[in-house]
Structure 1
């Protein structure tokens, strides 16, 4: 794709930074970067020299902060088992397809949350796309996590495991709890690692310039993870208000991944008890998100795509809608998937529309109040100043 110097007019702009929606905006791009942002009247423009998106809202390119690219999100268990045991070539086909699905929804960057063979470490996207990699997640031997990671035995030094892939990884993924129980509401599993072990992992990660994302559900697993100095809590179901306050105090991001539990409700073959508990878990997590917003916890949108019934790309729209259900405005939801996520992933060049930033953005039809639904059919996607064919 050839980079062109262009100007774009839109009726509405959500820039990822402001809490306000700007109207009647002219964006000028030079060498793939934003050189000027102006408030104008359409009738004053020479439309021949401007790309006209006057019926559209423009937003920054989106970021999904929690995906598993090696899996498709199939809800058929037999198919999922096959995917978890594929060779690299088969897995690469799945990853290629998943990346295309993300791009189709205007997602230009993802943070992978682990695969059991570390295949993502060797994957290079064939299209302009940001992929933050961790390879294999780390979990305690005998505990939950074997399908996305490698076990840490009682004889292993977690620092040595981290340093093995230091030249390939962008971040570290550690699993510090189990998953939600659908038969016992609010059941908490024991932490997989103690505070000393997690602190060692965070210290080692920082020494190589990598952040640490921690899978943690329940009060104690999350509390230990916070004390270790991790950069983000993944999932965080049933963590409680005290942990949310600590996350706000220590500037730790939360990636709540709400849609996976809804996917079980929609696609899982659940008993009455399991269905009732899943619905309660969903409502509890939405309430925690509401409280997190009130307390000032930084939330980055992540879908857990690749999990049971959680399709890449499509689930992003579902996750955004769930944030709206939790009390977020459209602008706040967009921020969680743009500027907040870009800070978490360390992708300074994207995540907002501002002078000097990369010209990576999407245009969707209609007023911002309809922008989430309009992601089903994106009008245009520009990546690094170039129009991307959908």
Structure 2
């Protein structure tokens, strides 16, 4: 019989083959912890972090020899917040429309670096950027550690129809339009199911993480209608089916009811804005499992700026006044109807870094604070299709935001972010003022 290895040899071999245990790097002593899965506050917890991920969450405040201890006993710890609708390459101003003729992509790219850092320091450790070509490079720079910013799921160029909300030639004169030529699927403008398929494949080639279509007119585009449907159901289905081939989910900008209906029946994952939803659309969204990303902040911002002479062009101003003011009421009715809701602001319309104000508007419209926090954590991670963010559980990214006090009792606490950790790296420590 052949010689059998001894028990000692087997034990040594097994130890060599097993991965080495990762030592705990940090321990967060949290006064409270928000359980985003069940939308409830837990009492004192310790979050153990190892190699950028959550090693464990334990009751009480435990001591781990050799680990850095961060005292958050006067704070509520939450999963890093997720904003599902941002535009990190730009920020609204009265000069926004003329800047498109003067600025180069590099100018927008440099601006985006500051906007990304502001967003991270405000507590948003993950975002879905729904339109902006330079953000694909910003995402890569963040991932490489070259600049500070949140985790970015980037759409790149939004997909529109001719004259639609994301047609890049809207508002330019005939001479410039002739020089540029009519935009097509490469530029994100489609007019058939074949075009739609090609546009998605181009986004794959560009390196996008998600697909965004503009299913209706929009408020800020240089075009008359803010709510007319701009895709057929067949075109939407072509986008969705092709996107599925590449593992993409599709977000649909939509204000008008008919455009929403077509987008939902075409299979999109989310409806953004949703201004003119009614009971029929609520039922349709629940039947199809379509998420609603409300962007109340953007609606209130544009309605306010519509009152400022010269802030918007004359073609845009009436749309901003009429549509923007309605979104918060729509949100309240959608929540009461049981529509699945996830957090999104459309930041870039308003100033980056003010994203958390959306929580206040959600609660003001009738959503309980715990549900609003869940919308920006567990629900938003579900929309992204990610099992690495949105919950403080073992194995997830160590993305943590903390605020003084109890945001479930007083949602205003979200405006006092005092601690931000992303992937185990502390970007904002208690008492530290962010850079201007």
TM more than 0.5: yes
What is residue 53 of structure 1 aligned with on the other side? 72
Displacement of 1:383 in angstroms is 1.2
Match of 2:237 in 1: 199
Q: Taking structure 2 as the reference length, what is the TM-score of the superposition?
A: 0.77
The structure whose Rg is larger is 2
Q: Distance in 1 between matches of 2:297 and 2:101?
A: 21
Question: Is this contact kept in 1: 2:49–2:424, CA < 8 A?
Answer: yes
Q: Given that residues 226 and 319 in structure 2 are in contact (C-alpha distance below 8 angstroms), is that contact kept between their aligned partners in structure 1?
A: no
Task: Count residues with an aligned counterpart.
Answer: 372
After TM superposition, give the deviation of residue 154 of structure 1 in Å. Answer: 5.6
Residue 161 to residue 50, structure 1, CA distance change in 2 (3 Å): closer
CA positional deviation for 1:359:
1.4
Match of 2:394 among 350, 355, 358: 355
The 5 Å alignment of 1:106-121 reads 106-115=123-132, 118-121=133-136
Counterpart of 2:263 in structure 1 is 225
Q: Secondary structure at the match of 1:288?
A: helix
Provide the C-alpha distance between the structure 2 equivalents of 1:147 and 1:208, rounded to a whole number of angstroms: 25
Q: Deviations over 1:252-286 (max 9, x none)?
A: 11111111221123333358xx9999788566433
Deviation at 1:120, TM superposition (A): 2.2
1:9 & 1:363 partners in 2: Cα distance? 11
Q: Does residue 172 of structure 2 align to residue 134 of structure 1?
A: no
Distance apart, 1:222 and its partner CA: 0.6
Q: Would the aligned equivalents of 1:317 and 1:372 in 2 still touch at CA under 8 Å?
A: no
Change (3 A) 1:275 1:211: closer
Residues 36-86 of structure 1: CA deviation (Å, up to 9, x unaligned) = 22222x6x869997422111111111111111122123x32x244315752
SS class of match (2:31):
strand
> Where in structure 2 are the equivalents of 1:1-12 lying within 5 Å?
5-12=25-32
Q: Give the structure 2 partner of residue 72 of structure 1.
A: 91
Q: Match of 2:103?
A: 86
Q: CA deviation at 1:90?
A: 0.7
Counterpart residue number, 2:352:
312
1:343-364 superposed Cα distances (whole Å, 9 cap, x missing partner): 2122321111122222110111
Deviations 1:25-44 (A, max 9, x none): 2222223222222222x6x8
Task: Give 1:110 deviation, angstroms.
Answer: 1.2
SS in 1 for 2:159: strand
Structure 1 residues 284, 313: CA separation in 2 closer, same or farther (over 3 Å shift)? same
**Distance in 2 of aligned mates of 1:158 and 1:346:** 23
Aligned position for 2:167: 146
**Structure 1 stretch 26-35 or stretch 371-380: which is displaced more?**
371-380
Of 359, 362, 365, the residue aligned with 1:326 is 365
1:252 to 259, 273, 290: 290
Provide Cα deviations, 1:289-342, integer angstroms capped at 9, x if missing partner.
2332233322111111112xx11121x122111110121122111111111111
Structure 2 residue matching 1:220: 3-state secondary structure: helix
3-state SS of the aligned residue for 1:388? strand
Could you list the per-position Cα deviations for residues 225-261 of structure 1 after superposition, in whole angstroms to 9, with x for gaps in the alignment?
1110111111111121111112112211111111122
- Structure 2: distance between partners of 1:157 and 1:277: 29
Q: CA deviation at 1:369?
A: 4.0
Q: Please, which runs of 5 or more residues in structure 1 have no aligned partner?
A: 182-186
* Structure having greater relative contact order (Cα 8 Å, sep ≥ 6): 1
TM-score of the superposed pair, with normalisation by structure 1: 0.86
Tell me if structure 2 keeps the 8 A contact 1:12–1:368: no
Question: In the alignment, which residue of structure 1 is the partner of 2:81?
Answer: 62
Which stretch has the larger CA shift, 380-389 or 191-200? 380-389
Aligned match for 2:302, one of 253, 264, 280: 264
Identify if the C-alpha distance between structure 1 residues 295 and 85 changes in structure 2 by more than 3 Å, giving closer, same or farther: farther
Deviates more, 1:291-300 or 1:44-53: 44-53
Distance change >3 Å, CA 277–CA 206, structure 1 → 2: closer
CA 194–30 in structure 1, closer or farther in 2 if over 3 Å, else same? same
Once superposed, what is the RMSD of the aligned Cα atoms? 2.9
> Which consecutive residues of structure 2, in runs of 5 or more, have no partner in the other structure?
1-22, 170-186, 310-315, 429-433
Deviation at 1:145, TM superposition (A): 2.3
Q: Secondary structure at the match of 1:14?
A: strand
Question: How far, CA to CA, are the matches of 1:127 and 1:285 in structure 2?
Answer: 32
Q: Secondary structure at the match of 1:166?
A: helix
